[in-house]
A and B are shown apart, each in its own frame.
Chain A
Amino acid sequence: MSTSNTTYYIPHRATWPVLATAGLLTTLVGFANYLNGSSIGSTLMIAGLAILVVMLAGWFTLQATESESGMYNHGVGVSYRMGMMWFIFSEIMFFAVFFGTLWYTRNLSVPWLGGEGAKLATKEILWPAFNAVWPTNGPANVGGHFEPMGAFGLPLLNTLLLLTSGVTCTWAHHGLIAKNRKQLIQGLIATVALGFAFVLCQAFEYHEAYTEMGLTLGSGIYGSTFFMLTGFHGFHVCVGAIILSVVLFRSAKGHFTPENHFAFEAAAWYWHFVDVVWLGLFIFVYLM
């Protein structure tokens, strides 16, 4: 095992975790108050987010400094990698919930509402006029008329953007391994730029949905699943792009060696994960 020959670095006096907790708690208390219509809600939320920003900056700086001063042996690196892998696994499960929801509604609950199987009498009595075909906003036409989002406009472009960014990210990694710093930095710049371009396109898409297509989060189950899946994904793209920006910043400062670059790897894994989720979205939300 990794602990056998060199010493495993055990940090002492951790102050960032408590601050992280305080920041999260403040943000969520603020958000809950905001949802309850209380006036202090948004103030608290902003305060909480500010704490989180400070915390992230501080914690990342600390980790980067420790890493660069060679405090992490091989074993520590393995622990970090495992931590990141299991974290991504938990994220996969989080997205699985919403994909599962989409599957369940499309294949089970909407057909049932349409009278499939033993449910015919219910349908005929309660909502005889309901036409259970996807996309739907349900028997009560919740949210009013809407147009579903097509696959071949912005979404296709977004697919290309993200796939390309996956390639540039790998290209940057090759640069890092080959000690080609220029390639590393250029690759990262391209990846981050493509990521933000994706987010921009998605913002246009949402804008069009809300202003021209009548498609909102409130458009029944179609709108709910559409915005929940793409929205959480978009949020993850933002997070990934921010992490990559930090990695880019560190690369520009000369951090990372071919042997020691956990932060880069973690960011790249995360990015590929976000990429794969998007492919799932493109197929199951847009195409099918």
Chain B
Amino acid sequence: MSVVTAEHGHDHHDDHAHGPEKGWLRWIVTTNHKDIGTLYLFFALAMFFVGGTMAMIIRAELFEPGMQFVDPKFFNSMTTMHALVMIFGAVMPAFVGLANWMVPMMIGAPDMALPRMNNMSFWLLVAGILLLASTLFMEGGAPAGGWTLYPPLVLQTGKALPFAIFSVHLLGISSILGAINIVATILNMRAPAMSLMKMPMFVWTWLITGFLLIAIMPVFAGAVTMLLTDKFFHTSFFDAAGGGDPVLYQHIFWFFGHPEVYVMILPTFGVASTIIPVFARKPLFGYSSMVYATAAIAFLAFVVWAHHMFTVGMPISGELYFMYATMLIAVPTGVKIFNWTATMWKGAMTFETPMLFSIAFVVLFTLGGFTGLMMSIAPADFQYHDTYFIVAHFHYTLVPASIFMLMGAGYYWLPKWTGHMYNEKVGQLHFWLSAISVNILFFPQHFLGLAGMPRRIPDYAIQFSDWNMISSIGGFIFGASQLLFLWVVIDTIKGGTGEKVTDEVWEDAHKHGLEWTLPSPVPYHTFSTPPTMIPSDHR
């Protein structure tokens, strides 16, 4: 063990003392934020394809009415596992990976605040997902009651139940430790010149996301712990016979669940706020309002949870309160959309792949926000609830938003990470195929939902056939297009276009982020001494 004293950047004189370990062991014992970020990102990408395969099974089964390929139980396992894998295995870890890679570089820190814990967060994630995946092969099948794990239905799960619950515990600990690390890094490790209100937006959104995670993951852990004791230790938390209430589970779950969706969207906002100014060649419009809007969204996230439960039989005062509170979220969200648009207004825009994904994000996320607003109207939600309309809603907020910005982030930072330029032609092809097919996939689901097609069913009435077939076709195109991204990632790592990238990669990017002042590819250790200057656009 040695103390890092090297100057950052071009000076490599003591890299031999603590450069990367040799061989595969490097990836197991590493405490380096870049290594761990890479691990997170590759793991997330792998899970994206695992979860994607499950989605393909779902869409294949729904291609036509009637039962085609799988039995209903397995179908339900697929919807449940698809959601859990995508949320806990793909989207959340991908953003943690980005945070690991970028936050220390963006704030001028030598590494994460708690590097050993950082390593542990990653391996706990792997352990949690392993437990979850193992349930697929168990007697009675994987959990099939939906990712929300509502009792009493989920208590009918077979041997998989305790494994699924413990998987949630492990994933929860992993997220909490990861979030604590990110929060401590941001609060404690910034370069002297970087006050809070000069931090890049991505850092801000992660600070707030970290807070959300620390607050909500223990809540989910508590909820599933009660499921466990109800099933195995004779408690009556969610059993009316003993004085408990199954609806209580829903309240606890959504107290976790609603902020959880913001855990997936706030870093998305952060990436968009990072990319758009660079390609619009303007500073981010309304920086401080962006910060306050993010904080407001996070605050509201804790007080709107029962909009997921409008049909459960709450008192009317509850319905009204949760309806109005939910509508309020549209205000800070609107501020953000306005600011991104204003950033692009009269900008000298160019349309490289990261920017294309960002623009698509702004447009398509707005659509998801609007359907959210529709569903926030309690009496209207009696119609929408548990139909494909809500499936369309959250997929618009998650796929062309979170996933698109993750892809955008990949294209944006890959040259910095690898030192190679990605193939712009393939990138653009990937974008256009994704952007078009995602709408073929999810837009018809609005119609299906409004016409009354329930979610989480393997078969449906024939009047839903046409739109389902179209949706499935979109799904297959979307799924296949993502292989292009895999190709781009591998190709870029192996050398990409062969074009030598500069340190700032994108024109004038050094004005927008400290990471662009570092060499490409970034050395193993950066900012061992903090930078004295911060980028000019971070007023």
Q: Name A's B-contacting residues (CB within 8 A).
A: 1-4, 7-18, 20-21, 24-25, 28-29, 31-32, 35-36, 66, 71, 75, 78-80, 82-83, 86-87, 89-91, 93-94, 96-98, 100-101, 104-105, 108-110, 112-113, 117-118, 136-140, 142-143, 216-218, 220-225, 227-228
Check: B291 CB closer than 8 A to any chain A CB. Answer: no
Name the residue on B nearest A73 (C-beta). Answer: B3
A-contact bits for B213-237, CB 8 A (1 contact / 0 none) = 0111111011100101100111111
B24 to chain A, nearest CB (A): 13
With both chains docked as a complex, state the minimum distance between the C-beta of A217 and any C-beta of chain B, in angstroms: 6
Return chain A residues, CB-CB under 8 Å to B420. Answer: none
Instruction: Given the known inter-chain contacts A14-B29, A75-B189, please indicate yes or no for A138 contacting B215, CB distance below 8 A.
Output: no
Chain A residues lying within 8 Å of B447, measured Cβ to Cβ, are: none
CB-contact partner of B244 in A4, A31, A221, under 8 A: A221
Residues of chain A contacted by B153 (CB below 8 angstroms): none
Indicate which residue in B110, B170, B183, B525 contacts A82 across the interface (CB closer than 8 Å): B183
A96 to B220, CA, bound (A): 11
| Given A28-B169, A140-B242, A222-B243: A82 in contact with B187 (beta carbons within 8 A) | yes
Task: Tell me if B124 and A32 are in contact (CB < 8 A).
Answer: no
- Stretch touching chain A among B42-50, B111-119, B143-151, B487-495: B111-119
Query: Residues of A contacting B114 with CB < 8 Å?
Result: 79-80, 83
Cβ contact of A228, chosen from B21, B110, B185, B229, cutoff 8 A: B229
- For the side of the interface on B, what is the size category? 35 or more
**Are the CB atoms of B235 and A218 closer together than 8 Å?**
yes
In the bound assembly, the distance between CA atoms of A3 and B5 in angstroms comes to: 12
Residue of B115, B216, B233, B315 near A11 (CB, 8 A) is B115
B192 and A228 contact, CB distance less than 8 A:
no
Name the prevailing secondary structure of the B interface residues: helix
- Asked if B72 is at the interface of the complex by the 8 Å CB criterion, the answer is no
Chain B CB count within 10 A is highest, among A20, A71, A98, for A20
CB interface residues, B 70-116, toward A, < 8 Å = 109-111, 113-116
Judged by a CB distance under 8 angstroms, whether B394 is at the interface is no
Given A10-B31, A71-B3: A101 and B226 within 8 A (CB)?
yes
The interface of chain B, by Cβ under 8 A from chain A, is 1-5, 18, 21, 28-31, 109-111, 113-117, 119-120, 123-124, 126-127, 130-131, 159, 162-163, 166, 169-170, 173, 176, 179-181, 183-185, 187-192, 194, 214-219, 221-223, 226, 228-229, 232-237, 239-245, 247-248, 251-252, 315, 525, 528, 530
Asked if B530 and A1 sit within 8 Å, CB to CB, the answer is yes
**Separation of A136 and B240 alpha carbons in the complex (Å):** 11
Top 7 nearest A-B pairs by Cβ distance?
A: A97-B222, A138-B243, A218-B234, A17-B120, A221-B243, A142-B242, A109-B245
For A101, what are the chain B residues with a Cβ–Cβ distance below 8 Å?
A: 226, 237, 248, 252
Decide if A93 touches B162 in the complex (CB within 8 Å): no
Q: Is the CB of A97 within 8 A of B31?
A: no
Q: What residues on A are CB-neighbors of B2 within 8 Å?
A: 12
| Contact between chains at B124 and A105 (CB < 8 Å) | no
A253 to B525, CA, bound (A): 36
Known pairs A28-B131, A104-B245, A142-B236; A11 contacts B223 (CB<8 A): no
> Contacts of B222 on A, CB cut-off 8 Å?
94, 97-98
Q: A3-B110, A86-B184, A138-B243 are in contact. Are A31 and B234 (CB under 8 A)?
A: no
The answer to whether A221 touches B237, judged by C-beta atoms less than 8 angstroms apart, is: yes
CA distance A172 to B270 in the complex (A): 46
State the CA gap A228–B243 with chains docked (Å). Answer: 15
Which residues of chain B are within 8 angstroms of A24 by Cβ–Cβ distance? 124, 127, 170, 173
Name the B residues within 8 Å of A217 (CB-CB): 229, 233-235
Contact of B113 among A29, A31, A83, A117 (CB under 8 A): A83
Q: Which of B217, B226, B243 contacts A113 (CB 8 A)?
A: B243
Q: Is the CB of B242 within 8 A of A15?
A: no
User: In the complex, what's the smallest C-beta–C-beta distance from B143 to chain A, in angstroms?
Assistant: 13
Q: Could you tell me if A109 and B123 are in contact, using CB atoms closer than 8 angstroms?
A: no
Known: A10-B4, A79-B113. A29 touches B31 (CB 8 A): no
User: Do B218 and A94 touch across chains, with their CB atoms under 8 A apart?
Assistant: yes
Q: Is the CB of B31 within 8 A of A13?
A: yes
Q: Kindly report which residue of chain B lies nearest to residue A221, judged by CB atoms.
A: B243
CB proximity of A63 to chain B, nearest CB, Å: 9
Cα separation A109 to B238 with both chains bound (whole Å): 10
Neighbouring A residues of B252 by C-beta, 8 Å: 97, 100-101
Q: Chain B residues near A10 (CB, 8 Å)?
A: 3-4, 18, 31, 110-111, 115, 525
Could you say which residues of chain A place their CB within 8 Å of the CB of B241? 138-140, 142
